[in-house]
Amino acid sequence: MRLHADTPQQLAAVLRGRRLSAELTQREAGSKVGLLQKTVSSLETDPSGSSIASLYKLLSALQLRLVLEPNEAPADDPQSPEW
């Protein structure tokens, strides 16, 4: 199953949804990879201020990986997400 996240808010929702599907608390997910509960909370609410290293740790705990692919939408497309 592919999950798309075009904005920090979408990424947060994907992370939270995956953790809940795995029936893990924030503390449990964090302890699998050495993250504090508050770090997991930050990634699930506003990941824009989190480190890439923390993101990768949480992805690992949730058995997810990051895949980058070209965005085929033109830059001036009104459907393109704004950062």
* pLDDT of 2: 83
The CA distance from 31 to 79, in Å, is 38
The DSSP output letter for 80 is S
Query: Is there a domain that residue 18 lies in?
Result: yes
Query: Is there a domain that residue 46 lies in?
Result: yes
The DSSP output letter for 22 is T
Range of the domain at 38: 8-62
48 token code pair: 């824009």
Query: Is there a domain that residue 39 lies in?
Result: yes
Could you tell me the CATH number of the domain that includes residue 30?
1.10.260.40
Neighbours of 19 (CB within 10 A): 22
Residue pLDDT, tens place only, 3-14: 889 999 999 999
Chain centroid, CA 41 distance in Å:
11
Residue pLDDT, tens place only, 39-62: 999 999 999 999 999 999 999 999
Contact between 15 and 54 under an 8 Å Cβ cutoff? The reply is no
* pLDDT of 81: 60
* pLDDT of 43: 98
| Model pTM score | 0.83
